[in-house]
Amino acid sequence: MSVVMEIEIENLKCGGCARSILNGLADMQGVSNVEVDQENKRVKFSGEEASRVQVTEKLRSMGYPEKGTLEGLSAGVANAKSFVSCAIGRMS
């Protein structure tokens, strides 16, 4: 059964970031209706409960970890990854 879920993320800065997130989640099996709320730094989507873990992992790999899940060097690496994802989003 599909449910609507929301993840508060870090490093969401602009429309380029939002486009990268939308593109990155577009091909995920079982995930639909993806929306990015730039103002509140949230990603909303529909899917099975189990897909939340997959979406969270995908977002983290792109540099947009769930809020409060990374600190120190890991948070710095995620921030750097988000700059790359943002630049790619701006070009697409």
Total structural domains in the chain? 1
Number of H helices, E strands in the chain: 3, 3
Does residue 92 carry a pLDDT above 80? no
Q: What is the CATH number of the domain that holds 43?
A: 3.30.70.100
Could you tell me the residue range of the domain that residue 45 belongs to? Answer: 3-91
Nearest to 27 by CA among 54, 66, 64, 7: 54
User: Where does the pLDDT of residue 80 fall: very low under 50, low under 70, confident under 90, or very high at 90 and above?
Assistant: confident
pLDDT digits (tens, 9 = 90+) for 16-47: 999 999 999 998 999 999 999 999 999 999 99
User: Where does the pLDDT of residue 91 fall: very low under 50, low under 70, confident under 90, or very high at 90 and above?
Assistant: confident
Please give the model's pTM, rounded to 2 decimal places: 0.89
Q: Give CA separation, 3 vs 6, 25, 40, 92, in Å.
A: 10, 16, 21, 29
